[in-house]
């Protein structure tokens, strides 16, 4: 599972060496070099011996990574925790149930959709944001 990075720790006006970034996020320095090499994290001062990354670039890079990881779900899809991706439920396994909680001013019933992953059979859960009659 990819790590989440708290980009608020980054001071945008300063620049960081890979070691400093590693320390900031408790990651290995190698991870940082991999970002530079494979994922095109921008570096400053290529003609110096030291690798430096500006705070702005670092933040932008991590925000972009995060956005790319986010999975958009279609109406009929679930996120399977085991497959780590958007999946559909097995035909006939889908059901809408009450969670027992109410939401909003009107105390509407909170509903969730349940089902079984069509790929691995794991239980799937998805909260429905609004109450629907159908």
Which stretches of the chain bind Zn ion, using CB under 5 A? Answer: 80, 82-83, 117, 119-120, 122
CB of 120 to Zn ion, least distance (A): 4
CB of 69 to Zn ion, least distance (A): 17
CB of 5 to Zn ion, least distance (A): 26
Nearer to Zn ion, 59 or 123 (CB): 123
Contact 82, 117 (CB under 8 A): yes
* Residues in the chain, total: 134
Nearer to Zn ion, 62 or 80 (CB): 80
Nearer to Zn ion, 42 or 84 (CB): 84
Neighbouring CB atoms inside 10 A of 109's CB total: 13
CB of 95 to Zn ion, least distance (A): 17
Q: Which token pair is 91?
A: 């035909």
How many Å apart are CA 97 and CA 77, to the nearest integer?
Answer: 16
Q: Which long-range contacts (CB under 8 A, 24 or more apart) does 36-42 make?
A: 39/65
Nearer to Zn ion, 4 or 85 (CB): 85
């Amino acid at each position: 599972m990819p790590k989440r990075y708290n980009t608020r720790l980054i001071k945008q006006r300063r620049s960081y060496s890979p070691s400093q970034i590693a320390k900031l996020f408790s990651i290995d320095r190698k991870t940082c070099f991999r970002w530079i090499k494979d994922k095109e994290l921008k570096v400053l001062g290529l003609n110096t011996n030291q690798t430096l990354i500006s705070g702005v670039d670092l933040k932008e890079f991590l925000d972009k990574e995060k956005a790319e990881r986010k999975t958009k779900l279609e109406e009929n899809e679930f996120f399977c925790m085991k497959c780590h991706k958007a999946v559909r439920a097995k035909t006939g396994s889908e059901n809408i149930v009450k969670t027992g909680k109410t939401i909003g001013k009107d105390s509407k019933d909170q509903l969730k959709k349940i089902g079984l992953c069509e790929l691995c059979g794991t239980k799937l859960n998805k909260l429905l944001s609004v109450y629907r009659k159908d």
